[in-house]
Amino acid sequence: MNVIFFYIIAAAILGFSILSVTSRKILRAATFLLFVLISTAALYFLLQVHFLAAVQLMVYAGGIAVLIIFSILLTSNVDFTFEKIDWKKQVFSGLLALGGAAITILTLLQFNFNSLVTKQTVTPDIRSFGRAFLSYGDGGFVLPFEVITVLLLAAMVAAIMVAKKSKQ
Amino acid sequence: MFLYDFTQLTSSIHSSLVESFGEGALTTTIELAIAGVAYLIFFAVLGLFLVYLERKVCAFIQNRLGPMRVGPWGLLQTIADFIKLLMKELIYIKSADQFLFNVAPFIVITASFLAIGAIPFDKGLQVLDFDIGVFYVAAVSSLGVLGVLLAGWASNNKYSLIGAMRSGAQIVSYELSVGLSLMTIIVLAGTMQFSELVAGQADLWFIFKGHIPAMIAFVIFLIAGTAETNRGPFDLAEAESELTAGFHTEYSGIKFALFFLAEYINMFIVASIATTVFLGGWMPLHIPGLDGFNHVMDFIPPVLWFFMKAFTVVFIMMWFKWTFPRLRIDQLLTLEWKYLLPLNLINIVIMTIVVLLGWHL
């Protein structure tokens, strides 16, 4: 059952990724990208890592995809399509993509996945996430957590400064 | 009685299926299909009833009778309307982006479908019970806005586009208030799982347990939730007088019906979350110390409790719509960013202090 679902989701991810890069209408490409992100979240749900799946939906699908689509909405028109790319570029980028895929697949095939199986047996729940974020002992993430918070705060203040009308 | 505990019903269905088909993929598939069909029927019935309720409540507030002709008290009116919608032609729009135009209503309806699966209607009457329940609902309901944005853009119509932009800005900003007001109660409850949230309210509902900060959070949640569903007084995305019908101007027939249905189902989802998180879910009204009263309350089935509370919240939201005039977009964003959000942040700190000092009931 899980295997069947895995193949369905994997096929969806692959199909939508290909559609996303080949579509010549920019908002369609963005929509296919959204579907890829949602399918990835489905994969996480299948693996029973609910927190990661919800974060994927919230941050990527509900946040970044909305941002992308919003900016496309403001800048482009329905009738606009990209020009057809000339065949030299197509061949070159196709070769590049194939090379990248070959390297990734080779690395994956050589990796010994069985060594990971015995190490992780507990399914992480939301409480252990919370504790790990705020503990400074072994296995705690309080420093990166705080650094990211400060970074986000700085980004937000900067955004407000940019958006603010100057007083004149 | 299965009305009091649905785990018996579901486990008996499960065991009978296992008897005839054995443990395995087939049983799981049949169970998934049963759950899916049950939710589809629930969706349709609920949508029809909510539209009827809206028209009746609106009529009541405006001192009219509302639909009265079709069926007793006009009960069959929405069914007749629905059949009419099904018969309507699906208008093909030449200059629209066909693919996105067609896919947009499904994104909206899928988002509300995903969200409603996590809501516990009764003990054991819940499909998804994740340990991150509240967060999950917040995450999947944030997908609905994408459908609205795509619908507005793909229609190739200036009113639709303006409606979609307004709706996008509105939903993205009010999501913050919804999330933070729910977070206030999570601080009190110490869990995000819906079943545990309900179980934690067995003696007293969270809105009374957390007294002042919980009540502030409840009011904020109601306001922000109404705004998130694009309903009046926050319905500038589809302001009839300025934008014809906003993002769904160009839609007709069943595709329009999907948007319409999603709006009402989303209203019900917001009401159900308010019920589950603040008003005890399917737990009866219990007051500590009054054992006789509590026993009497236990006789009312939990499903009935859930729907009574949910429809009370729905009624309040309809009351909003027919009482307050529509806000302007700048007023709407000012309300969220300058009033609700700071209030919410302060409220969380107050709730944390209350919980740490043990001042809650």
Number of domains in chain B: 2
Q: Whole-number mean pLDDT of chain A?
A: 83
- B146 contact A CB<8A: yes
d(CA B322, CA B133): 32
Model confidence band, residue A151 (pLDDT cutoffs 50, 70, 90): very high
Task: Indicate whether B80 and B104 sit together in one domain.
Answer: no
- Strands (DSSP E) contained in chain B are none
Task: Indicate whether B72 and B110 sit together in one domain.
Answer: no
Min distance A96 CA to chain B CA atoms (Å): 30
Closest CA to B145 of B117, B176, B113, B112: B112
Task: Indicate whether B65 and B194 sit together in one domain.
Answer: no
For residues B143 and A62, the answer to whether their CB atoms sit within 8 Å is yes
pLDDT > 90: what percent of chain B?
Answer: 5
Residue that finishes a domain, picked among B87, B108, B125: B87
Letter string b/e over residues A54-85, b meaning 16 or more CB atoms within 10 A of that residue's CB: bbbbbebbbeebbebbbebbeeeebeeeeeee
Task: Indicate whether B189 and B328 sit together in one domain.
Answer: yes
* Contact yes or no for A4 and B168 at CB 8 A: no
d(CA A60, CA A43): 14
- The amino acid present at B326, given as its one-letter code, is R
Model confidence band, residue A155 (pLDDT cutoffs 50, 70, 90): very high
Q: Which residues of A touch B131 (CB under 8 A)?
A: 50-51, 125-126
Q: Which residue shows structure tokens 């189902």?
A: B265
- The amino acid present at A100, given as its one-letter code, is G
Residue B93 within any structural domain of the chain? no
Q: Using CB atoms, pick whichever of A28, A66, A74 lies closest to residue B172.
A: A66
For residues B96 and A78, the answer to whether their CB atoms sit within 8 Å is yes
Q: At what angle do helices B253-277 and B98-116 cross, to 10 degrees?
A: 30
Closest CA to B181 of B210, B212, B219, B208: B219
Q: Which residues of A touch B130 (CB under 8 A)?
A: 50, 54
List the structure tokens of B90.
């699906």
- B156 contact A CB<8A: yes
Average pLDDT over residues B47-70: 87
By CA distance, what is B193's nearest residue in A?
A: A126
d(CA B180, CA B174): 10
Average pLDDT over residues B202-227: 86
Which residues of chain A are at the B interface, by a Cβ-Cβ cutoff of 8 Å?
1, 4, 25, 27-28, 31, 34, 38, 50-51, 54-55, 57-58, 61-63, 65-66, 69-70, 72-74, 78-79, 125-126
Residue B336's pLDDT is 87
- The amino acid present at A143, given as its one-letter code, is L
Average pLDDT over residues B130-140: 85
For residues B345 and B306, the answer to whether their CB atoms sit within 8 Å is no
What residue numbers bound the domain in which B37 lies? Answer: 1-87
Q: Whole-number mean pLDDT of chain B?
A: 83
- B115 contact A CB<8A: no
d(CA A95, CA A112): 28
Q: Which residues of A touch B140 (CB under 8 A)?
A: 57
Q: Using CB atoms, pick whichever of B28, B100, B139 lies closest to residue A31.
A: B100
d(CA B360, CA B353): 10
Model confidence band, residue B132 (pLDDT cutoffs 50, 70, 90): confident
Task: Indicate whether B59 and B133 sit together in one domain.
Answer: no
d(CA A85, CA B174): 42
pTM over 0.80: yes
DSSP secondary structure code for residue A137 in this structure = S
Interface pTM (ipTM) of the complex?
Answer: 0.80
* Contact yes or no for A50 and B140 at CB 8 A: no
Could you give all domains of chain A from N- to C-terminal order, each with its CATH number?
Answer: 2-124 (1.20.120.1200), 125-168 (no CATH)
Model confidence band, residue B349 (pLDDT cutoffs 50, 70, 90): very high
